Amino acid sequence: MSPVAQPNLGQVLSGLLQALLGWAPVRAAQGRLKDWGVTGRMAVTAVPYLWLLVFFLVPFFIVLKISFSSVEIAMPPFAPLIQWADDKVMLIRLNLGNYQFLWEDELYSSALLNSLKMAGVSTILALLMGYPMAYGIARSSREWRNILLMLVMLPFWTSFLLRIYAWIGLLGINSPINQMLLALGLIDEPVSLLQTDWAVYIGIVYSYLPFMVLPLYTAIEKLDGTLLEAAADLGCRPTRAFFNITLPLTKEGIVAGCMLVFIPATGEFVIPALLGGPDSLMIGRVLWEEFFNNRDWPVASAVAILLLLLLVGPIMLYQRAQQAAGGAHR
């Protein structure tokens, strides 16, 4: 007897999809959507927009509403914006003092500037480390490429918090790093790297380095190798070919990787709290203290809105410039 062929996963999913589309309620819904002028492509593209509406815009407007309220000893600890008077008149009270308080208090401006500085330095360090790694992976053989990519993503298989706690042991007084430096004679006594800005830089670069490597790898892997061969045939040196050909053609990967590192690093809270000292004050830590220690939700919401606008604004301007440049090339 010949063995019975087993259906693969694609065939099973295709059969389930056909059965679902043939179900009477689904067919009725399709007919109603067509009557309303909604096509299948519109229905599919509506899913990510609905996701953004539910999980981004709705929380954003909730936080925005709280940022214009006043703090109260209540639960939740803020006054409502809309109140009804006795004669059924709706009163809307907007408190702009929260944003004025952020402008006047130097704590928030210094924390924000320090966050931007630490995120910027960490992004540059991640780029300097990630670009050679991505270039090496993209130029490796196919047998090694998947293994190297797996090694880049391997840290994500463990808990983020456990990995940061591991760095506490590596950067302490009796850490292996200190023992190696003592053995090499580079230091005379153990040095504690904890509770310093460098410990925060190490933690951020280590945690977000894969977010830099993967976009760079994608950009470098799509690079046409014949351009470098033509440059070499014309007498161009490898260094000049890198700066004139490879680097400009991988600009999109560089920008994507820098954004993926810089944006979450600006609002980082766990790494500065565990590895940094009292001088490593970042805006994420200030935001947490306002919410949970001071219970000043309006001020904390104002900080969150200010940070969001500060990060989203340049991204939108860059995307608009990219669209304009793409239209000009066409």
What average pLDDT is seen over the chain?
83
Tell me, yes or no, whether 197 lies in a domain.
yes
CATH code where residue 167 lies = 1.10.3720.10
Quickly list H helices, the chain: 9-21, 24-35, 40-52, 58-67, 97-104, 106-138, 142-153, 160-170, 176-183, 197-221, 225-233, 238-241, 247-249, 251-266, 270-275, 283-288, 297-329
Query: What's the token pair of residue 98?
Result: 């929260």
Domain span holding position 155: 105-295
pLDDT at residue 327 in the model = 56
Tell me, yes or no, whether 302 lies in a domain.
no
At 309-329, the pLDDT tens digits run 888 877 776 777 667 655 545
pLDDT at residue 30 in the model = 65
pLDDT at residue 155 in the model = 87
At 126-141, the pLDDT tens digits run 999 999 999 999 988 8
Tell me, yes or no, whether 272 lies in a domain.
yes
Tell me, yes or no, whether 34 lies in a domain.
no
Tell me, yes or no, whether 220 lies in a domain.
yes
Low-confidence ranges of the chain (pLDDT < 50): 1-2, 4, 328
pLDDT at residue 210 in the model = 94
The size of the chain, in residues, is 330
Q: Within a 10 A sphere around the Cβ of 321, how many other Cβ atoms? A: 10
Tell me, yes or no, whether 321 lies in a domain.
no
Predicted TM-score (pTM) of this structure? 0.79
Calculate the alpha carbon distances from 114 to 10, 109, 255, 284 in Å.
51, 8, 22, 11
pLDDT at residue 191 in the model = 80
Domain count, the chain: 1
Tell me, yes or no, whether 49 lies in a domain.
no
Tell me, yes or no, whether 56 lies in a domain.
no
